[in-house]
Amino acid sequence: MIDYPEKERYYLEDLLEIVRLLRSPEGCPWDKVQTHTSIRNDFLEEAYEAVEAIDLLNHDMMREELGDVLLQVVFHSILAEEENAFTFQDVCDEICRKLIIRHPHVFGNTVAETTETVLSNWDKIKKATKHQETYTETLNAVAKSLPALSRAQKVGKRASKAGMDFHGVEDAFACVQAEHDELQAAISSGNAEHMEEELGDLLFSCVNTARHLGIDAEQALTRATEKFIRRFSETEQLVNHSGKEMPDLPIEELDKYWNQAKNNHS
């Protein structure tokens, strides 16, 4: 048993020390065997839970979930410290330097009075500090671990800075219609690989249309999914109230209940 002092309030140094103790020979059997790779998905899950708390504007939940995210940062830093790669202090040092470098309008003599100017300067500084000499390098730098819709939208935005973009939303939407036709032809061909390719092209064109509309494609799909769940729930209730079970009904009859649920909230 490790005797750690009970305090009225704990601080960052306590968190670092607690994680080191959990990783020590006398620590937790689970914590001792974790690696950067084994807890990779935990980091993603904790980040998504923090985002959900933000979406709900639930401060109690935000406090808890942000703590879970901080734990992930500390845990990875302790793992790196054990490998003599870097420390938590190195992480803090690097982000502080990055913030100072990328805010020359605050910590230097650059003038930037609008958000647009700030973002433009940020992109230029980021490209320089990351030694990105081509636009292709900026596209490749978009994290592959991002959700596909978010990554596609970010790639499209960066490509537009090189002039590779539609003139407007009408052209972007025309591409959706063209990709729809190509997918339809692929379906008719029965070629699975071709169908996957054309479906991907259709989704990518939808993301480009969302970008030109000023809509976050990831958020739009999330809201559409939530809407589907609400309507599905009401459809199920309507079916059950009629004394039936959904799996026993043909899709044509389920569609009638679905339309009723949809009309109830039109």
Q: Using the 3D structure, point to which of 101, 131, 166 is the last residue of a domain.
A: 101
Q: In which band, very low, low, confident or very high, does the pLDDT at 237 lie, cut at 50, 70 and 90? A: very high
Number of domains present in the structure of the chain:
2
The pLDDT, as a whole number, for residue 266 is: 56
The pLDDT, as a whole number, for residue 129 is: 83
Which residues, 6+ apart, have CB-to-CB distance to 84 below 8 Å?
A: none
Report the CATH number at residue 59: 1.10.287.1080
Has residue 155 been placed in a domain?
Answer: no
Q: For the segment 144-173, what is each residue's pLDDT rounded down to a tens digit?
A: 989 999 999 999 999 999 999 999 999 999
Domain that holds residue 17: 12-101
Has residue 178 been placed in a domain?
Answer: no
The pLDDT, as a whole number, for residue 122 is: 81
Has residue 188 been placed in a domain?
Answer: no
Has residue 247 been placed in a domain?
Answer: yes
Has residue 83 been placed in a domain?
Answer: yes
Q: Give the Cα separation of 23 and 27 in Å (integer).
A: 6
The pLDDT, as a whole number, for residue 28 is: 95
Q: Using the 3D structure, point to which of 50, 71, 101 is the last residue of a domain.
A: 101
Helical segments of the chain, H only: 12-23, 29-32, 40-56, 59-82, 88-101, 104-107, 115-129, 135-140, 148-160, 169-189, 192-213, 217-241, 251-263
Per-residue pLDDT averaged across 9-26, rounded?
A: 96
Q: For the segment 34-53, what is each residue's pLDDT rounded down to a tens digit?
A: 999 999 999 999 999 999 99
Has residue 68 been placed in a domain?
Answer: yes
Has residue 185 been placed in a domain?
Answer: no
Q: For the segment 172-220, what is each residue's pLDDT rounded down to a tens digit?
A: 999 999 999 999 999 999 999 999 999 999 999 999 999 999 999 999 9
Has residue 56 been placed in a domain?
Answer: yes
With beta carbons less than 8 A apart as the criterion, state whether 35 and 79 touch.
Answer: yes
